[in-house]
Amino acid sequence: MGYATKEDIDELYGTDLLVKIADYDRDGTPDPLVVDKGLLAADEICDAYLSAQYTIPVVPTPGVVKNCAIDIAVYKIALGRGGRTDEMRVRYEDALALLEKISTGKVGLGLPPETVDNGDGTSTTTNPNVKRAGGSFDCGRA
């Protein structure tokens, strides 16, 4: 399961965009392998950033992550076709900047708190927007 799908791109930008950037065989439809490759690249980039704070993959997919994945995928798909636009580049760079903020804990995922029934009449509420426990190594400290 990825953070975004072809249908998500269609919904946000319309099918015409995918035909323009992913129809390598010029049959009027986006080539599935080209789209899948772009979506996979987007997932890998999102995971690289998200893994700094969260267990990946992040499930359910937060809307902010899905939108980043869409913009990254569109940019990556357009690279192979020469159909990139300045708007695609700006959206790609904005997505990376947002993922950077998420990876450093400056921005949360926008997920609602989760309440789990403990089975003993009590419940526990957790905030999925809080970074994972454990921290990271800091080689600069003694």
Is the pLDDT reported for residue 135 higher than 60? no
Query: Of 17, 14, 6, 18, nearest to 42 (Cα)?
Result: 6
Query: What tokens appear for 42 in the block?
Result: 């987007």
Is the pLDDT reported for residue 73 higher than 90? yes
- In terms of C-beta density within 10 A (0-12 exposed, 13-18 middle, 19 or more buried), how is residue 88 classed? buried
pLDDT band at 22 (very low <50, low <70, confident <90, very high): very high
Peptide bond into 62 cis (omega under 30): no
Q: pLDDT tens, 94-121?
A: 999 999 999 998 998 887 777 777 888 8
Long-range contacts of 24-33 (CB under 8 A, 24+ apart): 24/80, 24/81, 30/6, 32/6
The one-character DSSP state at 81 is T
The one-character DSSP state at 62 is P
Is the pLDDT reported for residue 51 higher than 90? yes
Residue whose structure tokens are 């903020």: 101
- Would you say the pTM of this structure is higher than 0.85? no
- Torsions phi, psi for 123 (to 5 deg): -135, 160
Average pLDDT, the chain: 87
Report the run of H or E that residue 88 belongs to, with start and end: helix 86-103
For residue 126, give the 3-state DSSP assignment: strand
